[in-house]
Structures are given as structure tokens and as C-alpha cells.
Amino acid sequence: MTVTATDPLRTTTGALAPDPGANAFVARVERGEAPVEGLARLALEQQGVIPADRRSFERLANRAAPGSAAFFTTLAAGEELAATRLEAFARACGVTEDRSRAHAPLAGCQACPAYVSWPALNASPADVVLALTANFSAWGGYCARVAEGLRTPYGFTAEACGFFDTFAEPAPDLDRQATIAVQEGLDTGTLDPDRACTYGSLLQVYEGMFWTSLG
């Protein structure tokens, strides 16, 4: 039986789907119970995550086959857009330029981008496409919930919520590129779904550390 990209994409995303109630920080934001200081820490930590992930995606694009390269190039461009939108969220949380410069990153929050740099250097790009696609499904869901919480209990403006909207909105072009990349990996034998699932599992553990570390 011929295996198409749809099969590993569906299987891996389903296997890595998180428990909706497992993220206590996001749940507190939804209820309006997370302190603004915690939201400020979220903004400050993302100021370190975004450039690190962008460089990892650029590295992957440079060493990937054409299908995967297009996927990672789109991700890198998305990180640049997210960086511009993060500024409005940081300001809404009271984060100043002086505080950004003085901020000491939390190890638990920076563990995920630090791990992303490992497959960026060592893993098959096709495997990373599959792992990240599964992880983005969970990340996008968290961002949608945070954006809704910021709008309702906290009264944040649309501009201040724009960072989270960036990741919460559907991305059909990226989904199409992921499908092409995964199929390319299957056709060339450079994709190992089990190995990709392992990468995805680690990504989810490190992302969980990010949210937990925000307190």
C-alpha cells in the first residue's frame, strides 16, 4: 500500500495532541487569573525565543531539499512578522526597553528554542517538518486561547493580541508546504515518521516547560 504524506501527518499530529487541560498558565489567562507580571514574562521570554527559532529555521532551509526548504523559509518569515507584533503585546504588559535589556532569560522558557537548534543542525529536515507540524497544532491552539482571554477578561486591544493571532490563524499555505515536504521525504527515503515523532515528543516536553516556567 502506498503511503502518502497525509498518513504520517495525521498519525503524528494525533499522537502528539496534548491534553486540553494540561496547560495551567493558558487556562489562567482564559479566566483572567494570570497576573499581568506573568504576561510580561511571556513577552520577555518570547523576545528571546523568536530570533533563536528564526535562525534555526533559516539553517534548516539552507540544508534542506526544495520541498522542505520552502516550508522553513515560510517559518522564518513568520517569525519576523511575529517579532513585530510582539512589541505591541509587550507594551500592553508594561514592558519597557530598559526592562527588555535587563531581563535574565528563564532556563525553562529557553529550553525549547535551544532544543530546536539541535535538529536544525543534526536531523533530517523532512523529519523536522513533520515534528514541527504536529507541534504547531498544539501551539496554535494555545495562542488562540490566550488571544481570547486577553481580549475578554483583560481588555487588550486587537493590536496587543496580534502576536497570538499570528499563530492562531489558519495557515493553508504552510499546511500545503508541509504536505509537499513530507511527501518529498517519503519519496526520497529521508523521512522516518517514528524518529520525527520522537523529535515532536521532545518539543512538546520543552514547550510544556516554557509555560510552566512562566509561573
For the whole model, what pTM was predicted?
0.94
Q: What single DSSP character describes residue 18?
A: P
Q: How confident is the model at residue 2 (pLDDT cuts 50, 70, 90)?
A: low
pLDDT surpasses 70 at 1: no
User: CA torsion angle for 91, 153, 208, 137 (degrees, to 10)?
Assistant: -90
Query: What CATH code would you report for 6-213?
Result: 1.20.910.10
The CA-CA-CA angle for residues 15, 76, 14, to 5°, reads: 10
Task: Report the pLDDT value the prediction gives residue 137, as an integer from 0 to 100.
Answer: 84
Q: What is the pLDDT of residues 16-26, one digit of tens each?
A: 888 877 899 99
Q: What is the pLDDT of residues 99-146, one digit of tens each?
A: 999 999 999 999 999 999 999 999 999 999 999 999 998 899 999 999
